[in-house]
Amino acid sequence: MKSIIAFCLFLWTAQAFEYDLTPVKVSEDVHCFFGAPENITQENGGNMVNTCFVQTKEGFVVIDSGPTFGYAQEAYAQMQKIKNLPVKVVINTHEHDDHWLGNSFYKSKGALLMGPRTYEQNVIPGMSTRMQRSVGEETYTGTKVVKLDKIVDTHYAFTLGDTVFELKKLVEKAHTQGDLVVYLPQKKVIFTGDLVFNDRLSSIRDGSIIGSLKALDLIDSMQAQVIVGGHGYVTDANATVSLRRYLSEMKKQILEALSNDVSIDQITKHVTMPEYKNMKLYDVLHDRNVFEAYRELEMYDEDEE
Ligand SMILES: [Zn+2]
């Protein structure tokens, strides 16, 4: 009988989309949900992004709120299983919508929303989103675009419980023009947002290849023990290796092509980097990355560094 009631309750409360989120412990009191190394699809419901939560004595701090209201709701339920505590702060690493569309859920729970200036500039309440178009209305149910409570320009630190959180903008333009990292100095854990990708290719369409490489160097110089990127499963001190290798090789090949007068129309045929063909999202992102990097490197003078 009990199981029949439970089953009926399940049907009653069943969401249009089940994310089946499972928290993975990456450090003491730090857990993450790892998304698939894919593009956004109806099938994954936008669960192709990494989001994390840090437990403190006074409550949770969430880093990136995920792709939908429903996702954040499931993430919150998983947190409550670990410890019955409120979510006090949500930090958004950058303006791309797979990272913050869970904000309205946490706002409804009383959390303070923080993020970069570019969120304020580009995210407008009521606007339609790429996520909405990609996952469909059912999965998107309840999702609202909301404003931040606190904008971080270059640097901000706060303590919750006894845990120190440092938010920093490392370079002017890297993955976007407003990427924040979140560093926990006591735990030597850094959340880098999309400054770090692994297990799939990154996109540099809104950013800079030079800035991205600089950001990776700065992240490594912090000597964190745990580095959690916005996408991909590698979280040890080598998490930056894969993206650095890809971007450095691309930079080298494009600079060579430029010195041989290869035109922008021809560049994607020259810089194919076949060793990355089996990397997830190569077909979708590689040519565009080469094209964008070419436009940037055309103007680039290494001696001005
Ligand atoms: Zn992303």
How far, in Å, is the centroid of ligand 1 from the Cα of 164?
Answer: 25
Q: Are 67 and 135 in contact (CB under 8 A)?
A: yes
Q: What distance separates the 2 farthest-apart alpha carbons in the chain? A: 76
Q: CA-CA distance, 100 to 146, in Å (whole number)?
A: 9
Q: Are 23 and 32 in contact (CB under 8 A)?
A: yes
Give, in order, the Cα–Cα distances in Å from 122 to each of 6, 46, 119, 171.
Answer: 44, 20, 5, 19
Q: CA-CA distance, 50 to 21, in Å (whole number)?
A: 11
| pTM to 2 decimal places | 0.93
Beta carbons within 10 angstroms of residue 115's beta carbon: 28
Q: For each of the chain's 305 residues, which pLDDT tens digit applies?
A: 556 655 555 554 554 699 999 999 999 999 999 999 999 999 999 999 999 999 999 999 999 999 999 999 999 999 999 999 999 999 999 999 999 999 999 999 999 999 999 999 999 999 999 999 999 999 999 999 999 999 999 999 999 999 999 999 999 999 999 999 999 999 999 999 999 999 999 999 999 999 999 999 999 999 999 999 999 999 999 999 999 999 999 999 999 999 999 999 999 999 999 999 999 999 999 999 999 999 999 998 776 65
Q: CA-CA distance, 231 to 239, in Å (whole number)?
A: 11
For residue 3, the model assigns a pLDDT of 62
| Residues in the 5 Å CB sphere of ion ligand 1 | 96, 98, 194, 230
How far, in Å, is the centroid of ligand 1 from the Cα of 64?
Answer: 10
Give, in order, the Cα–Cα distances in Å from 203 to each of 60, 231, 254, 275, 285.
Answer: 30, 11, 16, 17, 6
How far, in Å, is the centroid of ligand 1 from the Cα of 262?
Answer: 31
